[in-house]
Structures are given as C-alpha cells and as structure tokens.
Structure 1
C-alpha cells in the first residue's frame, strides 16, 4: 500500500496574509499524513500574490489539491481552485479549516468545483479520504466516500466537526527548510499547548467548543528547542485561544511547569500568547506565574478585553467586568509584559454613553493603538448569538445570503453620523499608516532578548507614547466625548499629520531592529 500511496500525488496550498507566520493547521496535518506514507508537497503563497503568478507555479500533475481556508483567503483559494479545475477537470479539490467547517453549506452552494470539505481537525478524516481515493483509483474498489466529518456536494446532512483526542504528532517544517537562516530568524513559530477548542462563549464568535486535551509538555519544549536551534527561529506564539484554559489552578501550574522547562533550556526566545481578561488575578500563584513568564521571555500577551463598559461586556457574553480588564492590564505591566488589547469600540447597540466609556477606558490604560479607537467595529457573522439577536431586532442590513461580516445599522441613531464617518472616512486613512508605535515597542522588547550590545530606544518610545496619548485625547475626544463631527473635521488634518510625521521615526527604529538579523550591528547571543 505504501508504494501505491506514492503514486497518488497531493499538493497542499497555503495562502497566508503575513509571511512571518506559517500555517500551523496545515503544517501539522502535513506532518501527520507524511508520517502515514502519503506523497504530499506544499506550496506557500502570500494572499497579495497575483493569481496568474500563483497558477504559473502550480503543476497540473497532482491528483488532489488541498486548501487551508479562512475568511481572509477564501476568495483567493476559490479562484485558484477554479483555475485548477479549468486546466485539469479530473483534479480533486479539498477544502479544510475553521472557515469551511462553519460555513460548508454556503461554500458548497457557491462553488461547484469543490469535491470535499473536511470539518474540524483534519488528520483522521483526511487520512480516511486519501486512503479511499487511492483504493478507488488503483484498486477499482469503487468505495463510497462517506464520513461524518467530510462534506461533498451530495452529502451535506448530519455532519459534525472532528475533534482530535490524540495530538502527539509533530508538524512538517517545509516553511523553514526552504528559507534562509536570516529570514527564519524573523519568523514566528506557532504552536498550541492543547487541542483547538475554546471554553469561552462570546456572542460574536463561533470558535469550536469541546473537551480540552493537553499536549505533553516535554513534546512542546522539544519542538520549540528544535525550531530554535535547527532553523534560527526566535519567537514562539502559543495560539491557544487562552493559554490558561479553563482558568483553573491546574492550568496555571501546568503553564508554570512549561516555563520552568523552557527556562532551563536557556534558548533566549521571545514568547507570545492569548489570555482572557479573567485568566489572571492578584494572587500569590498568579504573581509567581507572571514573574517566570517574563523571565523566560514572554514579552507580550494578547487579551480579549473587548470593551471598557459593562453593557458591552454583557452583550458579548464575556463574563468579565471592567474591573477585571483594568486588573489584568495592571498586572501585566507590573511584570513588563506588553498587553495587546483585543477591543471592540462599536456595535449595533452602541450609545453615546458606551462609546464615551470605551474611549475613556482606552485613554486610562494609555492605549496608543489607533486601531482600537477607530477600526474596532464588531464583526457579525452568521451562526453567532449576536447575529441572531441583531437579526431578531431588525438591525441587519444584508439579506440572509450574506453570512460573513454582515452589515448592520445602529439602534441608537444618535451615534450613526459619527460612526459612519469613522468607518467610511477615517479607516481608509488609518490603513495608509505603515508603522505603529505599539508593535515597534514590543519588537524592541523582543530584540533586547535576542541581541546584546544594541541601541536602546526605550526612552524614545516612552516619550512618543506620552505624546501619542495627548494627541489622541485632544482630537478624538471631540468625536467620542463631545460627538461634534463638524468641529473634528476642522482639525482632522492636524490629527493625521501628527501620526504621518511620526512614521519616519518609527521606521528608522524598526529598520534598525530588522538589520540586526543580518548581524550588521551586533553579535547574536
């Protein structure tokens, strides 16, 4: 059977938005299936790469083409798959990932060229699919491919996500093997400490829920040490929805053990993770945990704060309080861990009061990330509690066929003029800014771990942060405290001029840090 497997050629196609990040799901699936003897190649592309360029590099000699699909690369994946089918009508197209898992009915109805969609964790269902296809092609078995977690255009009913109960396998490392040491040193290796489930219940989210299955800590450490020493990777991103799920003492002691073992390796790496706002409290255990996290190299933690007012937190089913939000930010700052805030300033139920409280919260915690002030409109997708609520109350503008990023109106008309101006006029200007103070700041924290004898910019960045906050308060308060749009329009150019001018300073600092990867100014530790 193994020799027959080699004759069935498979191409995995990964479309990423940011080149520094690999594809954790597809790389893990690739490692598992290769270990089972399947003949699989993989190609990595940027979502910005033109379709013609991608198609020129894809061979039509493969039997099956598999795509890792998400909401941002969905259209590109569909266009590539359609072109493959046009060139080779017997090519088999397979979609997988969180996005098609949630919206497989809509995707199948929109695209007649898709043969299979794998739901949930792909290892076992894809193994079954490939073995069935191989038997049908080479042994004329004529097997009916029917699986609870595999969708076809003719088999859509009674489907469910597949959940891995065993996650001991290691990923494939093609993304690093094909690249240079210097470029790999700028990449971020993504890894999870458990299976891909979330214990939250956010009303705007449709992440998968299920029983937590933890990875072996020694296996996690071994993988991190391997990519660090073999490929020169310097940053590790734990992509669990919450590295402390389900916020128990056991979970915290487990992370403490992981940090102890990483610390003993002396790898000089930077780490990032996700947490919930109520994951950390002001307790002796949590203080010890934060201390060792910073010692081992955790420089930033993404927190799903979402709001600075209680009414929005309740709307989002966060089961947290504004006090929780302040507390975790203060605790992280105490240990010099940079808090990256997941924040939603606006939603269909926004009022002047809620917007004002959100703005004041961001100012109080000295947030200088403009996207949290301006780009933070809640995204409403089908099959979420917030979608159902807004639909029931007649606040959705799009028809029922629209299932992603559904347009909505505002229940409180008093905020509509300001929010529509922010969405339609200010966000396009915001998107033109190439450099941002927050990510330059935590880039500084990372590089100070990796390199010695380098320029120090902490005072300069702290000075910029202080000035940024003053500018944000001065100008954006006109919008979000006074709600005086005409007054803001008269001074808006000065607001944007400040941040445009700041870009040259941030670029100079960031370019310096990037140059370190070429060993121009320092010696690697």
Structure 2
C-alpha cells in the first residue's frame, strides 16, 4: 500500500511561545518509527514535514494529490485551540478522494480522541498510545476491506489500539499491549528536515517509573505503563548507522527518563557510556534528579555528554509532594552539585506557580534558585520565573482538579486553566508571565538560531536577567507586605519593563530583526 505520514503545519501562539507544545513535532520520532515499521512490512511510505519545512496546506495538498495514498496518517499535535485549518484540509482530502482512509496518532490525539473524532468526521480512526504495531495492522485490515467489502467492520472493529466510530456512530476503542522489546522495532526513518536540526534525536527508552501528577508520558502509554529501555548495543548500532551514512556528531536522547530505575538503570547507562566513548560524539539527555550519580555522570561526560535537562520542579518539599514528584529538595541540590562538578550546567524544569502555591512556597522557591545560583542564564531564568503547572487531559492533575471543580476549559478541552488558590500568587504569576512572554517573543529569532546575536550580547542578556530577578523579588516583597497590585499598576509595570527590555536590546518597534 501507499502510505503518507503528515507532520502538519501549525502556528506558534505568541502568548504561549515558550510552552512545551512548541517542541518540534518530530522530536518524539512517532512518524519515523511508523515509517520504519511499514517499510519493513513492504509498504511504500512517504513523510511530509509540514512544520519543519514551513509548508502551507496548498503545497501539502499538491503532494497528497500526487501520491494518492491509500492511507493518510496525521501526527497531530496540540496547539491551544481546535485546529480548524487541519480539519478543513482533511475534509478536502476526503471530498476530493485523494485518500480513502485517514488515521491520527500522537500524544494529543491519544488523550483527546473522542473530541477529535467528534470535531473531524474526515478522520476515520485515532491510534492510541504507541503507534507502530497498531498502524502496521491497519493496511492489512483495509486490504481485506478492499477485496471483500462486507467484512470491513469485522476487519477493523476489533483491532486493538484504535479509537473509531461503530455502525451507529458511537465512538469505541481499546488499547493495545505495549511493545515488549524495543530492540524489535526498526530504526526510525529520518527526513532531510530532521538532519537540518542542530542535533539528531534518538530514543533509547520509553515510559517512566515516576508518577508526577502533571506528566502525560505514562497516560500516553496506558495502563501498566512502565519504563522500557533498548539495550546499549542496539542504541550503538543506530548511532553507528547515522555516523556512517550522515557523519552525525551531535545527538539528543528524547527519553523523558534516560537512566531508568535503580541500580539496573545505572549499570545500563555505564555500559552505554563505555560503548559511546570511542564514537567521539556529543549528546544531551533528560533525567530525574534521583538518578544523577557521580560515577555515572562522570562516565557519560567522558563519553560526550554536554547538556542535560533535569526536572527540579520546585525548591519546596511541600510542593514536590503535592505534584507527587517522589524527590526532595536535598536530592535536587545534590544533583546540581554533581553535574557542576563534571562541568555540566543543567537546563532546568521548574514549576514556580503550581495551583496550591502560597506566597511562602514562592519565597522558598526563589531562595532555592538564589542559593543554588540558578538564575544566571537569561533563557533559564525567564523560564523558571514564570512557569505555571500546565494541566493536560489524561493526567492525574487534570482528574483531581476536575473532581474538585477547579478547571476552566479553554478553546480546546485538552488543556484546562486552573485558578491559583492564593490571589496574591496569581497576581505575581500574571506579571511574570506577561513580561517573560514579551521577552521570549523578542528573543525568538536569536534563541531559534535564525538571526545573529546583537553586539555585546552577553552584557545585554545579563542586564535583562538582573532586571527579571529584581522585578520578581520586588513584586514578591510587595505582596508579602500585604499589598496587592491593581490592574492599572500591573499594566504600568508590564509596559515599563517592556520598554526597559527593548532599550537594553536596542530594538525599534518596527525592527523585526529579532522576531
């Protein structure tokens, strides 16, 4: 069969310019792994990188019309609203008969499949969770439908891993068992657009043994989800293939939990470090703080580890318990010390404003950041001083807050807003979010590598960094003294700070150099 996989276009919302949903669509390699599996099964497969290649829908339509795929697979990503542009395009695909069967897959549709199937009749099914095994079964079922139409429903209706409509239009679904051995999966197909990214993404493991209330990773994999890792030898085989064919030197492991649990996870990481050492590459990882150990980090740095994202999330043990992080502030600080000992300044996951934060929690967080010297990089500082808890459907946080009647559903039901318990905390959160969003918007071109840095860049960034820290502390002190900012005061403070940032960067209102 001819199968087309679409990484669809999307617009970045200016007010959400630094939120997690702006990660490149292809970072999780869903389409690449599906393509690898389908090619192994003998199908003709093409991937369209609508987002990374900056394609519009007329161009994508031309390519779909040219291929006339039997199946169109869409890797759907959430971007804060109902994607009417995508839905209109898929409707046209069906009306013009460019493709007879459309299925969607990814983190977002796995969780919000009912809403998606209701909103877009052109989508025939949604693949739930890991897509490879289920997608590989769909062509087989459709082949039976093409040859014997009367068994169409029988061929698809019992297919595990799919959400779809039955004869009456009711949405039915069932999950598929997880891939037991990740080594059995073919290596993912990578497009030219992926090779133009600064680092080539790798996936060495799936799932997480943690239970953070806000995390969508384990809900995506489903009931019984657990951490599963490829063997170091299998990972090295893929890396060797990429080096041999593309001379790749920079990699990034997209695993939410690089190490895996306990001593077994540490030994696996040490084995991988031993094998990587001779490759002369550089790589980044993501990890939980309790998995940061001196011996393992030392070995990984010798093997080429250059950057790491760790989920500190809070400097308050009380907040860490509320979000079920299963770590402590002491472990956070220990991880920072170990990484710095080996020359790694970590990137930080931090939730300054979680729903039940008090001013005391915010003060504890701020003192933690100061004590550990974590506010000296502008991008990291701006991120940490504004970030709130993002509440996504399917997570424990969403269920708990929904049961408590605290959720405010937005334009899409996938994400909900929650009113912060303490109005003074909400006051500070609003100020910091507006100002940091302005900064992210100003710096998007530079941080995205699209435009060069300004003259004396580091000096300018240091000034803005100090401005943000001072703004946060002054605002916190004002609120701690019993005062509260009025809407007029907030507006004045935000506009004044925006002017200061613009002045430091020497931006004119008509100058789009940085955007």
Q: How far does residue 420 in structure 1 lie from its aligned partner after superposition? A: 3.0
2:69 alignment counterpart: 62
Q: Structure 1 pair 46/89, CA: closer, same or farther in 2 (3 Å)?
A: closer
Deviations 1:454-503 (A, max 9, x none): xxx9xx88877765553333222112333364778666566445654665
Contact preservation (8 Å) 1:14, 1:44: yes
- Describe the SS at the equivalent of 2:133: helix
Q: Distance in 2 between matches of 1:147 and 1:77?
A: 26
Please say if 1:395 is aligned against 2:391.
no
Please say if 1:295 is aligned against 2:302.
yes
Please say if 1:306 is aligned against 2:313.
yes
Q: Distance in 2 between matches of 1:148 and 1:480?
A: 52
Q: Distance in 2 between matches of 1:158 and 1:473?
A: 49
2:42 aligned residue (22, 37, 42):
37
Contact preservation (8 Å) 1:22, 1:175: no
2:374 alignment counterpart: 366
Contact preservation (8 Å) 1:51, 1:79: no
1:523 alignment counterpart: none
1:415 alignment counterpart: 425
Q: How far does residue 23 in structure 1 lie from its aligned partner after superposition? A: 5.3
Which stretch of the first structure deviates more once superposed, 353-362 or 20-29?
20-29
Q: Distance in 2 between matches of 1:95 and 1:139?
A: 25
1:222 alignment counterpart: 237
Contact preservation (8 Å) 2:435, 2:497: no
Q: Distance in 2 between matches of 1:348 and 1:20?
A: 28
Deviations 1:200-249 (A, max 9, x none): 11111232252443312222112112213322333211111111121x11
Q: Structure 1 pair 340/326, CA: closer, same or farther in 2 (3 Å)?
A: same
Q: How far does residue 389 in structure 1 lie from its aligned partner after superposition? A: 2.8
Deviations 1:393-443 (A, max 9, x none): 3322338x95322122122223333333444x3244133222599999xx9
Unaligned runs of 5+ in 2: 10-21, 219-223, 508-512
Unaligned runs of 5+ in 1: 1-7, 281-285, 445-456, 506-510, 512-525
Q: How far does residue 45 in structure 1 lie from its aligned partner after superposition? A: 1.2
2:56 alignment counterpart: 50
Q: Distance in 2 between matches of 1:279 and 1:26?
A: 30
Deviations 1:44-86 (A, max 9, x none): 1117643334324332622210011222397254343233123
Contact preservation (8 Å) 1:395, 1:411: no
2:126 aligned residue (101, 117, 122):
117
Contact preservation (8 Å) 2:382, 2:468: no
1:262-273 superposed matches below 5 A? 262-266=276-280, 269-273=281-285
- Describe the SS at the equivalent of 2:366: helix
2:191 alignment counterpart: 175
1:444-459 superposed matches below 5 A? none
Please say if 1:386 is aligned against 2:397.
yes
Contact preservation (8 Å) 1:475, 1:492: no
Corresponding pairs, count: 467
Q: Structure 1 pair 21/299, CA: closer, same or farther in 2 (3 Å)?
A: farther
Contact preservation (8 Å) 1:189, 1:233: yes
1:237-386 superposed matches below 5 A? 237-246=252-261, 248-266=262-280, 269-280=281-292, 286-364=293-371, 365-367=373-375, 368=377, 369-386=380-397
Contact preservation (8 Å) 1:14, 1:45: yes
TM-score with structure 1 setting the length: 0.79
Contact preservation (8 Å) 1:135, 1:141: no
Q: How far does residue 171 in structure 1 lie from its aligned partner after superposition? A: 2.9
Q: Structure 1 pair 485/253, CA: closer, same or farther in 2 (3 Å)?
A: same
Contact preservation (8 Å) 1:381, 1:387: yes
Q: Distance in 1 between matches of 2:474 and 2:117?
A: 47
What is the CA RMSD across the aligned residues, in angstroms?
3.4
Contact preservation (8 Å) 2:357, 2:422: yes
Please say if 1:429 is aligned against 2:438.
yes
1:475 alignment counterpart: 471
TM-score with structure 2 setting the length: 0.80
Q: Distance in 1 between matches of 2:115 and 2:65?
A: 29
Q: Distance in 1 between matches of 2:306 and 2:28?
A: 22
Contact preservation (8 Å) 1:204, 1:380: yes
Q: Distance in 1 between matches of 2:301 and 2:6?
A: 37
